[in-house]
Amino acid sequence: MTTTALSAREFRNALGQFATGVTVVTVEREAGSVFGMTANAFTSVSLNPMLILVCVDERAKILSILHKKKRFGVSVLKQGQQALSEYFAQGEQNSEAEHRLGLRYRWTPEGVPVLEDTVMQLGCSVVATHVTGDHTIVVGKVEDAEIHGGEPLLFFRGEYRHIGGE
């Protein structure tokens, strides 16, 4: 049996060297009400068919809703939207807090909620899920995409950054 000297902290630090954007994965919890989760484990998978993936922690509240609804949105946050990233990284979400943050949702033609005023928004249907380690890889078929532009919020070495500076 091989052993590794790599600690969890070292593993996180190593992966933190990979700069990413920040997305919010959204699902319709009940009619008209949305639940979201901040995720940077997002990537493109395939061009034909058009597939993306997001890795979701087994303990995340959103996972059971994703399994049930089989549709989700992905919105790429803009520079300056750290407060939105923090909000969707905690489970206590309600319309009052969303009003305070100025959040607005748009529903795609397929009925998927996405966040308005973000760089880019995808509407997806779940085509596969793979449990691996302590996460589930959720593969989504992209049904709708809108690019609204603006500079993206970045995440690097455990901190929020923006293009062209610290």
Ligand X SMILES: Cc1cc2nc3c(=O)[nH]c(=O)nc-3n(C[C@H](O)[C@H](O)[C@H](O)COP(=O)(O)O)c2cc1C
Which positions touch ligand X (CB under 6 A)?
22, 37-41, 55-57, 59-61, 85, 89-91, 155
Rounded CA-CA distance 135/115 in Å is 24
The nearer residue to ligand X, 85 or 108, going by C-beta atoms, is: 85
Instruction: Print burial letters for 62-79: b (CB count within 10 Å at least 16), e (below 16).
Output: bbebbeebebbbbbbbbb
Please tell me what DSSP assigns to residue 77. Answer: P
The nearer residue to ligand X, 57 or 146, going by C-beta atoms, is: 57
The nearer residue to ligand X, 37 or 120, going by C-beta atoms, is: 37
Least gap, CB of 109 to ligand X (angstroms): 26
Residue of minimal CB distance from ligand X?
91
- Do you know the residue count of the chain? 166
Least gap, CB of 76 to ligand X (angstroms): 12
Rounded CA-CA distance 66/44 in Å is 19
